[in-house]
Each structure stands twice: as C-alpha cells, then as structure tokens.
Amino acid sequence: MRWSIGFLVAAAVAIWAGAARADEPTLANVPPVVVKTEPPAGASDVPASTSEIRVVFSKKMQDKSWSWVTVTADSFPKTTGQPHYLPDQRTNVLPVALEAGKTYAMWINGTAAQNFQDTDGRKAVPYLLVFSTK
C-alpha cells in the first residue's frame, strides 16, 4: 500500500491535535488556586479585632485537609480553633487572634506541606498571604 505525503501529514496533524487537546487545561483538570483571601493579600490596615482568616479556592476542596504553613514563628497568627471549610467546600476558615501593628505571613500550601487539595486530590498551587494589622 502506498501512502501519500498529504495523507501522512494530515494523519500526523490529527494525532498531534488529539494529544494537544488531552493536555489542554480545563476547569476540571487544573489544580485549585486561591481566588480570594480575607483579609486581602497586601492589606496594611486590617483591624486587630479580625477573628478569622478566610481563603477561597477555585474548586471544591477535600474536607479536613489543609496546610496553613508557617513562614516564621513570629509572623504566623495565634490560632483560636481548628481550620474548617464552609458549606460551599471552597472557603477554608482559620480562627485567629491578631495583634495590632504586626505583619502576618503564611503559605497556603508550601513546598513540603500540600494538604489543600481538591476533591480529586489535585494539590492547590502554593499561595503566600501577607498582611498587616492597624
């Protein structure tokens, strides 16, 4: 059997295009990312009376699985309870007691600790949250 060059090129392009589609990002196959934090990252006027830090992810997350990671012992807030998810399964809440005039820094997932995962087990992209209180 004889194959024409045109046929072979068309077949190669079809195979390549199919493979490219399998690797294309979709909402279902990409890892979760932080889409919002409360207080917002970079905020410099957070009230010291703030009693919780919230992180909202792009996808539903696994319950009882999180990694609030310390940057330094002094920059991590004192916690007043266990982290938990709201019913939307996208918002994780860390109960805290903040101090006035202090800068806080923490990783949401980190290099070694990556327990924030979506319901399919994809690890959330690490996110550095830094803010200061009034």
- Domain ranges, ordered by start, for the chain: 32-132
Inform me whether the pLDDT recorded for 20 exceeds 50. no
Please provide the CATH number assigned to the domain covering 32-132: 2.60.40.1220
Nearest CA among 66, 30, 59 for reference residue 119: 59
The token pair at 112 is 């070694």
> For 48-83, what is each residue's pLDDT tens digit?
999 999 999 999 999 999 999 999 999 999 999 999
Q: What is the pLDDT of residue 10?
A: 53
Nearest CA among 47, 102, 46 for reference residue 73: 102
Give dist(CA 123, CA 100) in Å, integer.
Answer: 33
Q: What is the pLDDT of residue 103?
A: 98
The token pair at 97 is 């007691």
The token pair at 114 is 């990556």
Sole residue written with tokens 């809440």: 93
Give dist(CA 99, CA 69) in Å, integer.
Answer: 19
Sole residue written with tokens 């006027």: 45
Q: What is the pTM of this model?
A: 0.82
